[in-house]
Structure 1
Amino acid sequence: MVKKRKIPQRMCVGCKDMKIKKELKRIVRTPEGLIAFDPTGKRSGRGAYICPNEECLNQAIKGKRLQKALEVQIPNEVFEQLKNDIAK
């Protein structure tokens, strides 16, 4: 009997839907305290996952869910940079 492979899922901090990990984008707080978009999903640090659309990012910012997930206050210029990175 063939075993089914488990597909990793993560919750979007914006819409709070469970989705396949590869469909989501990762935002990471590095050990140095830098908040950045992680295109590979392998950077070290605390991560939060978000859908690749601006609407979910806006919900995460408005509800302060992204700040809570990364356990740090995030300045507005970083939010603008994240919006640009996700739009790509």
Structure 2
Amino acid sequence: MTQAPHVAENLRICLACRRKSGRDEFWRVVRVWPSHEVQLDQGMGRSAYLCPNASCLKQAQRKDRLAKVLKARVPPEVYAALWTRLQVKGQGTSAQVDRRRTDEISTNL
């Protein structure tokens, strides 16, 4: 009887609190290659992950951690979209609605 090799789950780390979890637990911010534009959730390039809570978002914004990790300037519109996503989440709506609403904002950047 042979056992399948242990497959490790791909864990991500929040850039603010350093919590490890699966990628579905985080917001993804991407510096798209080759344009170096920063956007939410989509695209190929350098990524940073952030817990979907106010303390992590506040810490990341205050210490400019997103810019440091992404090695790019993060427009204020990205932070505004994340704060909007957080407010919508606080009103009891689903994460799917959060992402659709902030995707609309991020595509207008």
Please tell me the TM-score bracket, short chain as reference: 0.7 to 0.9
Larger Rg: 2
Considering fraction of residues, name the structure with more helix: 2
One-letter code of the match for 1:49?
A: Y
Q: Tell me the TM-score normalized by structure 1.
A: 0.79
Q: List, as ranges, runs of 4+ consecutive aligned residues in structure 1 with deviation greater than 4 Å.
A: none
- Tell me, yes or no, if the aligned pair for 2:40 and 2:78 is still in contact at 8 Å: no
Structure ranking higher on relative contact order (CA contacts 8 Å, 6+ apart): 1
Q: How many residues align?
A: 85
* Structure 1 unaligned residues grouped into runs of 5+: none
State which of 33, 38, 41 in structure 1 corresponds to 2:36.
33
CA RMSD of aligned residues (A): 1.8
Give the TM-score, by structure 2 length.
0.66
What is the percentage of aligned positions where both structures have the same residue?
32
CA drift at 1:19: 1.5
Tell me how far apart the structure 1 counterparts of residues 7 and 65 of structure 2 sit (CA, whole Å). 31
Segments of structure 2 that go 5 or more residues without pairing to the other structure are 90-97, 99-109
How far 1:30 sits from its partner (Å)? 1.2
